[in-house]
Amino acid sequence: MIGIFDSGLGGLGIFKKIKAMLPDEDIYYYGDTANIPYGEKSPDELKGLITAGLKYLEKKGVNIIVIACNTASVLDTTYFRRQVKIPVVAVVPVIKTASNQSRNNKIALLSTKATAISPYTDYLIEEFAPEAEVKKIACSGWVEAIEKGKVSDHRLNSCLKKVDEEDVVVLGCTHYTLIKGDIQRLLGPNKILLDSNEAVARQVLRVMNKEKLYQHIKKPRYIFDASGHKKKFQKMVDRYLEEIA
């Protein structure tokens, strides 16, 4: 069984990609909605919350965990891998892909505050886009709005107006992939919009193949669980799974 951990609904795009690539595997999705948003919390607080979430999934019997939250992944993936006894795959902003696709070497990274100021994000930029000019844009309030299903053009434009000459825009928060269509519409057709969802699913496929983790379930189960209000969470899960590509 594949476990997916996120602060809330953000990992649903990754869930859909994994489900498409591995259609005969059980998936247990866990959102830490009681503690969302993660983007403004301290590193120490986040380590405690994320570790608790990973251990919760491990106890549920999953044999691999996907950290589907950029804020968590760029904090300290090595630390989190040491907290559980099963493989952990983590999502990070696709800076390398953005660098390869940008025509003018100008990239915008939309993310939470925690991801924007993370030293690991700086490392990714220095390592994979040394020639590019990367504008880091922290989009305050987006995660909360997406969780509530109340995303307005006004709120989105408060952040998107900072995107200027950048021809490639990286979605550095998995929550933002749930409204990718709205972001593309507001940015216009000339901006290339990238996310990490498919890349993460491919990595899960590679790790499961290497570690021989396949279970090949005839009728796979898809379980959605949350640390907060479970019925509200399920309602939003159903809504976004219908809407996202």
Q: What is d(CA 198, CA 98) in angstroms, rounded to the nearest whole number?
A: 14
Which residue among 176, 194, 212 closes a domain? 194
Q: Which of 12, 173, 204, 237 is catalytic?
A: 173
Percent pLDDT > 70 in the chain is 100
CATH code, 169: 3.40.50.1860
Q: Which of 62, 64, 69, 91 is catalytic?
A: 69
Average pLDDT over residues 125-150: 95
Pair (87, 117) in one structural domain:
no
Is the pTM higher than 0.75? The answer reads yes
Pair (159, 120) in one structural domain:
yes
Which pLDDT score is estimated for 245? 64
Which residue among 157, 175, 194 closes a domain? 194
Question: Would you call 69 a catalytic residue per the annotation?
Answer: yes
Pair (103, 175) in one structural domain:
yes
Question: Would you call 159 a catalytic residue per the annotation?
Answer: no
Pair (9, 43) in one structural domain:
yes
pLDDT digits (tens, 9 = 90+) for 215-238: 889 999 999 999 999 999 999 999
| Band of pLDDT at residue 8, cut at 50, 70 and 90 | very high
Pair (60, 112) in one structural domain:
no
Q: What is d(CA 25, CA 213) in angstroms, rounded to the nearest whole number?
A: 10
Residue 52 tokens read as 């608790």
Cβ-Cβ contacts under 8 Å for 106 (sequence gap 6 or more):
132, 133, 135, 165, 166, 167, 168
Pair (146, 75) in one structural domain:
no
Pair (161, 122) in one structural domain:
yes
Pair (114, 43) in one structural domain:
no
Print the domain residue range for 159.
95-194
Pair (37, 157) in one structural domain:
no
Pair (190, 201) in one structural domain:
no
Q: Total structural domains in the chain? A: 2
pLDDT > 80? residue 188: yes
Pair (189, 203) in one structural domain:
no
